[in-house]
Structure 1
Amino acid sequence: MEGQEETKNITVVVAGRPYPLKIRVEDEASLRKIVKDVNEKINRFQLTYTQKDKQDCLSMALLTYAVDLHKTQLAAAQDAHLSAKLSHLEALLDQEA
């Protein structure tokens, strides 16, 4: 079927709970790596904050990923802004030449 992506059903386990997902076949390896990384981060929080329950550790892991995503988005926006400025300067230099 042209134009349709091949999908598959998988189940991932995050913080000890199974989650059934329907994903694109080509995304499976990336998704499984992300799940592994998330679970490792949760486990590190559990070892560091032994008084916190699994839900707290899951929330803290989520927040660290949200902060990282926000920083990445800010950096991308700054890169785009800088690129636009450089293009403008290049155009001005081309006019002078």
Structure 2
Amino acid sequence: MICSSELDSVIRSFTEAYQWRKEHLVEDDHSRLALEHALASAYLGDRRIKEAIRMLEHVVAVEKKTLAEDDDSRLASERTLTYALQMANQDGVYR
């Protein structure tokens, strides 16, 4: 299990990398989307559910336009979004 300070460090690092990729890479770049997915997963680990859902909704929307329905990356993003929405329902988090 990752401790809170390690998770904070991961989120900071991912956020910095995400900001750079957002400025320099196109929206449907695979590495940009993969990092967004990873950052959203870190947000889930930190119980930042609303932020995770917003980011995952973006990833899923882009992947729906660019990837096949059975693509592993797309399926993983859709599963993670479903999990985040379930967490939101359990915690009473509303978007």
| Same-fold call, TM cutoff 0.5 | no
Which structure's residues are more often helix, by fraction? 2
Computing the radius of gyration over CA atoms, which structure comes out larger, 1 or 2? 1
Q: Calculate the TM-score normalised by the size of structure 1.
A: 0.29
Higher relative contact order (CA 8 A, sep 6+): 2
Structure number with higher strand proportion: 1
